[in-house]
Chains A and B, each alone.
Chain A
Amino acid sequence: EVQLVDSGGGLVQPGGSLRLSCAASGFSFSTFWMSWVRQAPGKGLEWVANIKQDGSEKYYVDSVKGRFTISRDNAKNSLFLQMNSLRAEDTAVYYCARGGYNFGYWGQGTLVTVSS
């Protein structure tokens, strides 16, 4: 059974940092693109970043370029999102998802709240 378990969210002040993690199981993690997708409270879905199977290609939505970094550890079947210089508008539930632009499986989400 495919499982994605998101963690690392919490309350952080504007300008602060957080590192999200996603533990994958039940499939060959190293053979799939992986992504982070977010959903602000009461709003729709927004793709944030994705990473190629071997980590050689990474892409970001314009609003997070230079602030967020996606990475992966294929040996540990894990996906990460390092978020720096956080802003109030980054407040959202962040989902780990399998795929680069077509998301077949999703984690349960982890809530990031940016507030003073």
Chain B
Amino acid sequence: QSALTQPPSASGSPGQSVTISCTGTSSDVGGYNYVSWYQQHPGKAPKLMIYEVSKRPSGVPERFSGSKSGNTASLTVSGLQAEDEADYYCSSYAGSNSFGGVFGGGTKLTVL
């Protein structure tokens, strides 16, 4: 069982917006502004899409955005494109509970 809870699946049609949630506790998501989101295509290494809740690394499209409220973080993908179909994982710093952070179980995003 993963430390952070994500829905196993999400879907949307091209052009639509989809939001994926990531629920933790006050010891991780709620306690720090160090939530990250990763995209992973089949057979590939994960790619950082969002860090520190809402910051986008260089090269990540503006269609990807992140937010947090209390113990729940969210990733929103706007203007869905076929290439957005992938697994998405959230992670959060967790202090002394886990110095490398904790991950969610992952969400499979399907573009219909």
Contact = CB atoms under 8 A, between A and B. Distances in A.
Interface residues of B, number: 23
A109 B42 CA distance: 13
A46 interface: yes
Given A44-B106, A45-B89, A47-B103, A106 B98 contact: no
A100 B100 contact: yes
Interface of A: 35, 37, 44-50, 59, 61, 95, 100-109
A49 to B, nearest CB: 7
Residue among A37, A95, A102 with max Cβ neighbours from chain B (10 Å): A102
A23 B57 CA distance: 23
B66 interface: no
Given A44-B104, A102-B51, 17 more contacts: A45-B91, A47-B98, A47-B102, A48-B100, A50-B100, A95-B46, A100-B99, A100-B100, A101-B93, A102-B36, A102-B48, A103-B36, A103-B48, A103-B91, A106-B45, A106-B47, A107-B45
Contact of A49 (B51, B91, B100): B100
B31 interface: no
A107 B105 CA distance: 21
A101 B57 CA distance: 15
Contacts of B48: 102-105
Contact of B52 (A49, A100, A102, A106): A102
Interface of B: 2, 34, 36, 38, 45-48, 51-52, 57, 89, 91, 93, 98-106
B85 to A, nearest CB: 18
Pick the 6 closest A-B CB pairs, nearest first: A47-B100, A101-B101, A59-B99, A106-B45, A44-B106, A45-B103
